[in-house]
Amino acid sequence: AQKVTQAQTEISVVEKEDVTLDCVYETRDTTYYLFWYKQPPSGELVFLIRRNSFDEQNEISGRYSWNFQKSTSSFNFTITASQVVDSAVYFCALSEEVRRALTFGSGTRLQVQP
Amino acid sequence: DAGVTQSPTHLIKTRGQQVTLRCSPKSGHDTVSWYQQALGQGPQFIFQYYEEEERQRGNFPDRFSGHQFPNYSSELNVNALLLGDSALYLCASSSPGTVLHEQYFGPGTRLTVT
């Protein structure tokens, strides 16, 4: 069975601080996909990134970066120089196959104070 | 290009009633998945439809059923509503033609059962 754990329930930072959201996953599959989604107060889940289990290269996209480590089954997400607009709930998710069911973590609520 | 749309936005039902939620996938997408998100939790996979058939199902009772139409739109039906069915119901669509293979989510239908 698959499982995604986001131990941080809520994080509060001041604008311009860096913040890292943790994600630990469990799966028996050798091939799997990891995702991060953002859910603003409007409720719609916004796709941020997908990572394949066979590609451990870290990725940076603007102020966002992701650190994928198979050895520790972690897929952490860092926001550099946080902004108030980053305030949202962030979900880490796992899928055994592309386009198949996503298993979500419980989410981390990020509040960025001005 | 319209994204995933869902109707209605909000719905209030009484325990024991039946409800139908609707989803139109993003243009060009042929696969629709439904998720239930209880307050303060991550989305949980209900089922997925592809080529008008249920392809995958999560751990939900038979009270939850669905349908996919030839135009790829989908309905989620819930019978004999329970108070615990109160949640945000999210629809997601995807397509084999999607480069990143990610699932695009709609804004959701907020169901309240009283």
B40-52 pLDDT, tens per residue?
A: 999 999 999 998 9
Cβ of B45 under 8 Å from any chain A Cβ?
yes
Contact A74, A22 (CB under 8 A): yes
For residue range B8-55, list pLDDT tens digits in order.
999 999 999 999 999 999 988 899 999 999 999 999 999 999 989 998
Please give the pLDDT value at position A113.
96
Kindly state the tokens that stand for B86.
């109160």
| Range from A56-70, A95-109, B91-105 carrying the lowest mean pLDDT | B91-105
Question: What is the C-alpha separation between B97 and A109, in angstroms, rounded?
Answer: 32
What pLDDT does residue B1 have?
64
Interatomic CA distance for residues A70 and A76, integer angstroms: 11
Most confident of A52-56, A65-69, A95-99, B110-114: B110-114
The torsion of the CA quartet B8, B10, B14, B18, rounded to 10 degrees, works out to 20
Q: Is the pLDDT of residue B100 over 60?
A: no
Q: What percent of chain B is predicted at pLDDT more than 70?
A: 94
Residue predicted with more confidence, B1 or A47:
A47
Q: Looking at residue A96, what DSSP letter applies?
A: S
Nearest CA-CA partner of A79 in A35, A17, A34, A36: A17
The answer, yes or no, to whether residue A20 has pLDDT greater than 60, is yes
- How far apart, in Å, are the Cα atoms of A64 and each of A49, A58, A86? 10, 11, 11
Which distant-in-sequence residues (6+ apart) come within 8 Å of A18 by Cβ?
Answer: A78, A79, A80, A81, A82
- Check if B97 contacts A (Cβ < 8 Å): no
Please say whether the beta carbons of A107 and A22 come within 8 A. no
Strand bridging mode B109-113 / B10-13: parallel
Other beta carbons within 10 Å of A85: 9
The answer to whether A34 contacts chain B (CB < 8 Å) is no
Minimum CA–CA partner of A90 in chain B: B42
Nearest to B92 by CA among A33, A97, A100: A100
- Angle (CA) B76-B81-B86 rounded to 5° is 80
Rounded to the nearest angstrom, the minimum Cα separation between B61 and chain A is: 17
Residues in chain B: 114
Q: Give the span between the Cα atoms of B57 and B48, in whole angstroms.
A: 6
Residue A57's pLDDT band (cuts 50, 70, 90): confident
- For residues A62 and A83, which has the higher predicted lDDT (pLDDT)? A83
The candidate with the shortest Cα–Cα distance to A73, out of A51, A89, A44, is A51
Distance (Å, rounded) from C-alpha A50 to C-alpha A83?
A: 23
Which of B103, B104, B109, B110 is most worth mutating to test chain A (most A CB atoms within 10 A of its CB)?
Answer: B103
